[in-house]
Amino acid sequence: MMNGGFFGRTNFSHINNTRWNPQQLVQQIQSRNSATLKAVKIRMKTVKTIEKTTKTMKMVASARLKESQAKLARVLPFAETSLKIINQPIEPKEKSLLVLITSDRGLCGGINSQSVRKAREILKQKKAKGVKVDVICLGDKGVGQLRSEIPKQMLWNTFDLAKFPINFLGIGVLTDKILENQYDDISIIYNKFISLVSYQTTTADINSYKTMTEKYADVFAQYDFPEDMRLTTMQSLFEFSISSAILNGLVQNEAAEQSARMTAMDNASRNASDMLKNLNIVYNKGRQAAITKELSEIISGAAATKSA
């Protein structure tokens, strides 16, 4: 039996009694490095799976982005006109409503975090001015980040909006529910789609019905129709403008979400590809070193048995 030195951890006691078996020696030596190489190989397989998944998610996001852009092109003309009517600077009042639009799913970068950060800023500013603020969240991610902070200020929330087609009829139901309470102003926070690689967190400020009627009283006075019809028309215009603003926010946020997810998945795919290359190099180097070490130990062991 040989102890110490290069072969200190290998047992050669059987060589004196039996015929030397190189295959058995190779198996003993290989067991030392197989665990490390096996772990690297498992990790390579995991990274390959992640890369395939992220590439698939990028393709899905790209297809959905095209649908969102087409939808945005149909909504934008109505929304721009409505926002000109109701999106005016707001003076601090007693009671406000904050409508936060976020996505229901993650894996889209920091798009939801920026919207929630903007909501926190507005809540802090209005709290400092003594304004009572109610909050409505359209999207699960906003609820998850604000529920523990302002549980009493949250009126109600809506989830899974992406599962159903966004249309004006459904938004009208939301508007009716919002207008059940009287607010001095309404702020809608959403992410505005700018391009495939950029978006902007935006706030649409809506004044109360009373403020709008006072501002546009002279405009409506130019038209000749009964007084009761004038009030009904202005009320309908106010409700239509709020619905258009919410619809615009939802469609804009949906397009921004898909573009952000497409970018995030593209970056993830590139990172996975780079990681796979590095793991490949590590695996090949380890395998080469193991083979070289095995050969040297086999040759040294054979020389040692002959000399013994």
Cα pseudo-dihedral 217, 218, 221, 222, rounded to 10: -140
> Which regions in the chain score pLDDT beneath 70?
1-35, 85-92, 162, 219-220, 223, 225, 227, 308
Contact 223, 216 (CB under 8 A): no
Q: What pLDDT is attached to residue 182? A: 85
Alpha-carbon distance of 164 to 52, in angstroms, equals: 28
Tokens describing residue 92:
């601090």
| Total residues belonging to the chain | 308
The per-residue pLDDT for 11 is: 46
Report residue 229 as tokens.
């019809």
Task: Specify the pLDDT at position 50.
Answer: 93
Handedness of CA 183, 185, 187, 188 (dihedral sign): positive
pLDDT at 258: 94
Q: Residue ranges of the domains in the chain?
A: 77-261
Q: Are the C-beta atoms of residues 212 and 234 closer than 8 Å to each other?
A: yes
Instruction: Give the closest residue to 189 by CA, choosing from 176, 206, 202, 198.
Output: 202
CA atoms within 13 A on the CB side of 183: 23
Q: What is the pLDDT of residue 109?
A: 86
pLDDT score recorded for residue 122:
92
Write the DSSP assignment of 38-93 as a string of letters: HHHHHHHHHHHHHHHHHHHHHHHHHHHHHHHHHHHHHHHHHHHHHHHHHB------
Tokens representing 266 are: 């593209």
Domain 77-261 carries which CATH code? 3.40.1380.10
pLDDT at 19: 47
Structure tokens at 152: 């009493």
Structure confidence by residue, pLDDT tens digits, 240-274: 888 989 999 999 999 999 999 999 999 999 999 99
Q: Please report where in the chains the tokens 């380890």 appear, as a residue.
A: 286
Q: Given this model, what pLDDT does residue 233 score?
A: 78
